[in-house]
Structure 1
Amino acid sequence: MTFLSGWGRTAPTPATLVAPRTAPELSALIAGASSRGLIARGLGRAYGDAAQNAGGVVVDVAGMEARWSLDPDTGVVTATAGMSLHDLMLALVPRGWFVPVTPGTRHVTLGGAVAADVHGKNHHVDSSFGAHLRSLTLVTADGTSRVLGPGDELFWATVGGMGLTGLITEVSFACVPVETSRVRVDVERTRDLDHTLEVMTATDDRYRYTVAWIDLLARGSRMGRSVLTRGDHARRDELPAGADPLAFAPSSRLPAPPWAPNGLLNGLTVRAFNEAWYAKSRERRVIQDLAPFFHPLDFVDGWNRVYGSRGFVQYQFVVPFGEEGTLRRVVSRLSAEGVVSFLTVLKRFGPGTPGMLSFPMPGWTLALDIPAGQTGLAGLLREFDEWVAGAGGRLYLAKDARMRAELLPVMYPRLAEWRKIRESVDPGEVFRSDLARRLSL
């Protein structure tokens, strides 16, 4: 048995970890699954318990044979699901293509990107990863390999379905043409939360990529002050003379310390960081490489260890447009309570996909990285859950580690439809995870 946890490192459980190399090996694993079932695991970047399976089997798909191809006329990529966005970007960017959607790390597999229907800084323009899929290949509980497209119900049960409909082995999706491997970035500071919402509403549609970093420890008239970072892919004529326009070689990752004390990220250290970051981030326009713009935390290998042995909770929710009062209420309460969140980001979502358990919906999404163990945190987040559900919002299953099962059908109104499809394709519940058991999926 191997103890596995999510990226937040809060609830490790033991499982048998296996690493098949071929499709027949994978089929044999599915056929021989025990009553505890199995679940796929890529690079372990789900924050909660979605890629854990206590007492069962966890299938490490990242080591399976990697293959990919690109249609240079259409930009459609077909690749094995165990490939990472990192490896794919190394191949695509020098050829003038970029992935249609990337989350805050390159170190996720394509299968994980589909299972979580990941979103990025461009959701208000380009929706989530599932919107760009042309097809996917799914091995279901009976060992059958099915090629599915957007016209199939099972396709949309799988997009955002957290790996519980089967094991994704291949995906085909459309990429974005780019002239350079750089981003033209505008930086702007806002004075408080209302100002942040006002500027984002008025200007987000001018940019393909937007995000706001919020100083959650600021209080009073400064509560919710933010740094807005907006960008678009840079053109060749915007680069310095002699620059290689499509060079893409992300900096080598520095290792995080193997051990960090609990409490290293506390009110004092995070407040000091926030003050320095806000002061530094004056209004300007810069040309930036893709990696620091999209994936700044990837520069440090194992950065989650900085939170100490207790780990951290990433709490991400979305509320519809028109429910800004709920967002203000959450930020105000966090600020008043002095909750420490090393990274707090706000984005605007556009239309979502038809994925039955897909997280994004038109509205505001706030994500917080909170060190575990803060006094009163569990009760506070339970209160926020109720506020979010009451506002017609939801929590992100790929990051959740603690939501109560009774809120799931409230937050995900297509849950019954998803369950019906899952039951038809996996009546014996071969595909299981700690997340599925906790939320009675």
Structure 2
Amino acid sequence: MPETNSVQAPTPTLEVPFESWGRYPTYPARMIPLNWQTDFPAALAGLHNGALPVGMGRSYGDVCLLKGGNLLLTTGMDRLLHFDTETGILTAEAGVTLAQILDFAVPRGFFLPVTPGTKYVTLGGAIANDIHGKNHHVAGTFGAHVTEFELVRSDGSRRICSPTENLDFYAATIGGLGLTGVITWAKLRMKPIVSRGIDYEGIQFHGIDEFLDLTRQSEHIEYTVSWIDCASTGKNFARGVFMQGDHSKVPAELKPSPEPKLVFPFDAPGFALNHATVSLFNTAFFHKQLKPRVVALQDYEPFFYPLDKVLHWNRMYGKNGLLQFQYAIPWESAREGTIAILQEVAKSGLASFLAVLKAFGDVPSPGMMSFPQPGITLALDFPIKADKSFPLFERLADMTRDFGGKLYPAKDAAMTAAQYQTFYPQWEQFARYRDPMLTSSFWERVTGDRPTL
């Protein structure tokens, strides 16, 4: 069993600005670094304005922020504790990143069971946001592969949570946005691989109906995702590239990935990403694939993490930052809702540089507050233009609600309390599991609920 001795109570720093990946909003907070020796309850003693465990800060909005509060930095809890090569179960502290896990696991012939579009997130953050990936239709969410974790509460109590022990806290913590306590360590079921390669296929499509046809045809493929052009109209409306792949079954050398060397060096000027430049990029990206269908053996890095090769790529949106919008709309309204929302985006004059379209499957999540549901999910990002972006996001959120869908808290900085409470009517049930000293700017924004100190 992992060590749980607690012998240190860290001293918080003075308040400093802290950004999420979207760089909006930016709030001051006191930083409290954690490691395996930290006495968590002692670290909270005498603090005011609540606390929130955070990892790499890769959420886009304010779920990893706490204005004027205390951020418990988990990245010092970064030990790999045990690995069972027979079962593929890895035990690691919650501050270990997915990149660190891959560096350890890939040379040993194992891969993450579910991965998002960046590997620079912590194990605890992946659980707290119950992240999803390109294989949701066959593997479900990240939490479905977490077999056990330890949860420490501010009163000093420790709970081992699993599908058979403390199931209520297990369900509340997966997708619980870090509000139920501090995860100290977790067990993750890895999957075996024999190669870094992905048997990749890229297929151009024109319109949502062709996307849906490809989705149905690829149900047996493990990984599927689409880039979609949300700037074009007319005959090019909703064109895109459908990307699918499986882990190669041909044995090949397994080695860690090199560290990225490219860095986006400065904040791009606010005018750099506009409708015209995004339209040009979209046209070039669509036609980069010279044939309607391309087959290739691709390394897993560009397949799963194309943006990770450029550090600080969020700077290209300028110093004002970016807003992310991601919905999940159930199948009965998915086609109609997706077309309507894409039309609304096109009408707004704003254009998303990174637009990702995918089908969610029906593998249930173990998390009480998890985002995915069977249907279509669309993720869009926009540079912040205060006079246009926020009114657009409010309209898109209302449309999502009207089509029976919901938004992803990890990507949000704009939904209203009324919208959130409609999307997640179980929030009051979940609130009973929130640690009384833990909160976030997101939670306070969408519920009005505050810590009891």
Partner of 1:224: 238
SS in 2 for 1:155: helix
Partner of 1:421: 433
Find the partner of 1:44 among 54, 57, 62: 57
Q: CA deviation at 1:398?
A: 0.7
Cα displacement string for residues 300-357 of structure 1 (whole angstroms, at most 9, x for unaligned residues): 0000011101100010010001112111100112123332111000011112313111
1:175 & 1:30 partners in 2: Cα distance? 34
Percent of counterpart pairs with the same letter? 37
* Counterpart AA for 1:203: Q
Matched, 1:79 2:106: no
* Counterpart AA for 1:272: L
2:110 & 2:40 partners in 1: Cα distance? 31
Q: CA deviation at 1:235?
A: 1.4
SS in 1 for 2:177: coil
1:224–1:331 CA contact under 8 A, matched in 2: yes
SS in 2 for 1:196: helix
SS in 2 for 1:29: helix
Matched, 1:24 2:34: no
SS in 1 for 2:356: strand
Q: CA deviation at 1:54?
A: 1.1
Of 2-11 and 349-358, more deviation after overlay is shown by 349-358
Partner of 1:434: 441
Partner of 1:241: none
Partner of 1:257: 265
1:364 & 1:65 partners in 2: Cα distance? 35
Cα displacement string for residues 375-418 of structure 1 (whole angstroms, at most 9, x for unaligned residues): 42222211111121122211101111111011222111322221
Partner of 1:400: 412
Q: CA deviation at 1:145?
A: 1.9
Find the partner of 2:74 among 52, 61, 75: 61
* Counterpart AA for 2:32: V
* Counterpart AA for 1:390: D
Partner of 2:145: 132
Over 3 Å counting, the alpha-carbon distance change for 1:15 and 1:374 in structure 2 is closer
Partner of 2:376: 364
Which structure 2 residue ranges, 5 or more long, are not aligned? 1-14
Over 3 Å counting, the alpha-carbon distance change for 1:288 and 1:251 in structure 2 is farther
Find the partner of 1:193 among 195, 205, 208: 208
1:318 & 1:278 partners in 2: Cα distance? 24
2:29 & 2:220 partners in 1: Cα distance? 47
Matched, 1:303 2:317: no
Q: CA deviation at 1:20?
A: 2.5
Matched, 1:214 2:228: yes
Of 14-23 and 214-223, more deviation after overlay is shown by 14-23
1:147 & 1:431 partners in 2: Cα distance? 19
SS in 2 for 1:125: helix
SS in 1 for 2:30: strand
Of 356-365 and 267-276, more deviation after overlay is shown by 267-276
* Counterpart AA for 1:293: F
Q: CA deviation at 1:266?
A: 1.3
Find the partner of 1:278 among 282, 286, 292: 286
Q: CA deviation at 1:53?
A: 1.0
2:312 & 2:40 partners in 1: Cα distance? 29
Q: CA deviation at 1:265?
A: 1.2
Q: CA deviation at 1:420?
A: 2.4
Partner of 2:352: 341
Which structure 1 residue ranges, 5 or more long, are not aligned? 238-243
Of 52-61 and 406-415, more deviation after overlay is shown by 406-415
Q: CA deviation at 1:421?
A: 2.9
Matched, 1:328 2:339: yes
Over 3 Å counting, the alpha-carbon distance change for 1:208 and 1:31 in structure 2 is same
Cα displacement string for residues 175-195 of structure 1 (whole angstroms, at most 9, x for unaligned residues): 111111111100100012222
Q: CA deviation at 1:248?
A: 3.1
2:50–2:439 CA contact under 8 A, matched in 1: yes
* Counterpart AA for 1:50: V
SS in 2 for 1:298: coil
Q: TM-score, normalised by structure 2?
A: 0.92
Partner of 1:288: 298
1:38–1:432 CA contact under 8 A, matched in 2: yes
2:78–2:94 CA contact under 8 A, matched in 1: no
2:323–2:382 CA contact under 8 A, matched in 1: yes
* Counterpart AA for 2:107: P
Cα displacement string for residues 74-119 of structure 1 (whole angstroms, at most 9, x for unaligned residues): 1111110000000000000111100111100000000000000000
- CA root-mean-square deviation: 1.4
SS in 1 for 2:287: helix
* Counterpart AA for 1:268: A
1:135–1:148 CA contact under 8 A, matched in 2: yes
Matched, 1:3 2:17: yes
* Counterpart AA for 2:222: R
1:110 & 1:21 partners in 2: Cα distance? 14
Partner of 1:234: 248
2:277 & 2:399 partners in 1: Cα distance? 30
Cα displacement string for residues 52-86 of structure 1 (whole angstroms, at most 9, x for unaligned residues): 11111101111234223211111111110000000
Count of matched residue pairs: 428
Partner of 2:389: 377
2:34–2:75 CA contact under 8 A, matched in 1: no
Q: CA deviation at 1:23?
A: 3.5
Cα displacement string for residues 194-236 of structure 1 (whole angstroms, at most 9, x for unaligned residues): 2222222x22312100001001111012210010110000112
2:40–2:154 CA contact under 8 A, matched in 1: no
SS in 1 for 2:433: helix
SS in 1 for 2:52: strand
